[in-house]
Amino acid sequence: MLRFDINFLFTIINLLILYFLLKKFLFGRVRDVMARRAQEVEDSFEEARKAQEEADAVKAEYETAAGEIKAKSEEEAALIRGEAAKEKEEILLKAREEAERIVQEAGLKADKLREDRLRSAGDELADLVVMAADKLDAADGKYSTEDNRRLFDAFLDQAVQGTKDSSQNPQTGNAK
C-alpha cells in the first residue's frame, strides 16, 4: 500500500522545484527556440511568396513587352510588305511601259522598213518598166507580137529573179 510519510512530501517538493527550475531554465528557452524557428519558417514562406509575386510581375512585364514587340514587328513587317508590293507594282508598271515603248518602236521600225521596201520595190518596178519600154522601143517593130510576148516573159522572169535576190539580201539596194 501506499504510505504517506515525509519522504513522500520531499519527493513532491523536489518534483515541484525541479518543475519550476526546468520551466524557468529549459522550457522557456526551448519555447523561444521553437518560436524563433517557427518565425524563421514563416519568414521563409513570406519571402518565397514575395519572390513568387515579383517573378509573376516580371513575367507579366516580359509577356507584355514580348506582345508589344511582336505586334510592332508584325506591324513593321506588314508595312515592309506593303512597300515591297508598291515597289513591285512600280517596277511592273515601268516594265510594261518600257515593253509598250519597245513594241511601238518596233512597230514604227517595221512600218518604216515596209515603206522602204515598198518604195524600193516601186523604184525597181519603175526601173523594170523603163527597161521594158526601152527594149520594146529598141525593137521598133522588128519583133512580132509573139516575140514581144516571149521577150516580155523573159524580162518578167529576170525581174522576179532580181526581186528574190533583193528580198533575200535587203542591203543590196535597188535592182540591177
Structural domain contains residue 162: yes
Asked if the structure places residue 39 within a domain, the reply is yes
Q: How far apart are CA 95 and CA 86, in angstroms?
A: 14
Within a domain: 15: yes
Instruction: Compute the distance between CA of residue 36 and CA of residue 39 in angstroms, rounded to an integer.
Output: 5
55 alpha-carbon distance from chain centroid: 40
Q: Is pLDDT of 113 > 80? A: yes
Computed over every residue of the chain, the mean pLDDT equals 84
Give the pLDDT of residue 176: 41
Establish if 13 belongs to a structural domain.
yes
CB 121 within 8 A of CB 167: no
Written as one letter, the residue type at 94 is: K
Which structural domain range is residue 109 located in?
A: 6-172
pTM: 0.39
Using the structure block, give the residue that is written with the C-alpha cell 520595190. 121
Residue type, 80: I
pLDDT tens track for 14-49 = 999 999 999 888 888 888 899 999 999 999 999 999
Q: Is residue 14 part of a domain?
A: yes
Q: Is residue 1, in this structure, part of any structural domain at all?
A: no
Position 143 in a domain: yes
Residue with cell 515579383: 54
Q: Enumerate residues 6+ apart whose C-beta is below 8 A from 117.
A: 170
The number of domains in the chain is: 1
Residue 166 lies in a domain: yes
